[in-house]
Amino acid sequence: KDVVKKWRFLINDFLRGRDVLKRALVLIDSRHGIKDVDREILEMLDKAAVSYRMVLTKADKIKASELVEVTERTAIEARKRPAAHPDILVTSSEYGMGIPELRAAVVEAVS
């Protein structure tokens, strides 16, 4: 637990000290949705006032109805968080789904 505390401190220190950090992209496995470890990261980003956008990955690995559900749950979570971008990106590297949108989001974040 001491190691975890030290890492959290280092990560928070890194996030707070990076004015050039425009936005973080948080990758979330769509098969599982937002897990507790993801929430910890989101909380750290919120506390450090670092803008971030959630990206659902592996969208091809679940049914379309499940993808709609996990996307909506993720969007609801994003609306509750002060540093979260409201739009959720959905991707599948296997089929290239959402990859152009992800690239555009990266360009937008660094522009």
At 26-72, the pLDDT tens digits run 999 999 999 998 998 899 899 888 899 999 999 999 999 999 999 99
Tell me the longest C-alpha to C-alpha distance in the chain: 42
CA-CA distance, 99 to 90, in Å (whole number)?
A: 8
Helix locations, the chain, DSSP H: 2-16, 36-47, 64-80, 99-110
Q: What is the value of pTM for the model shown?
A: 0.87
Which one of 3.20.20.150, 3.40.50.300, 1.10.10.10, 3.40.718.10 gives the CATH number of domain 2-110? 3.40.50.300
| Residue 78 burial (C-beta neighbours within 10 Å; 0-12, 13-18, 19+) | buried
- What are the pLDDT digits (tens) for 63-102? 999 999 999 999 999 999 999 999 999 999 999 999 999 9
Q: Could you give the CA distance from residue 23 to residue 55 in angstroms, rounded to a whole number?
A: 12
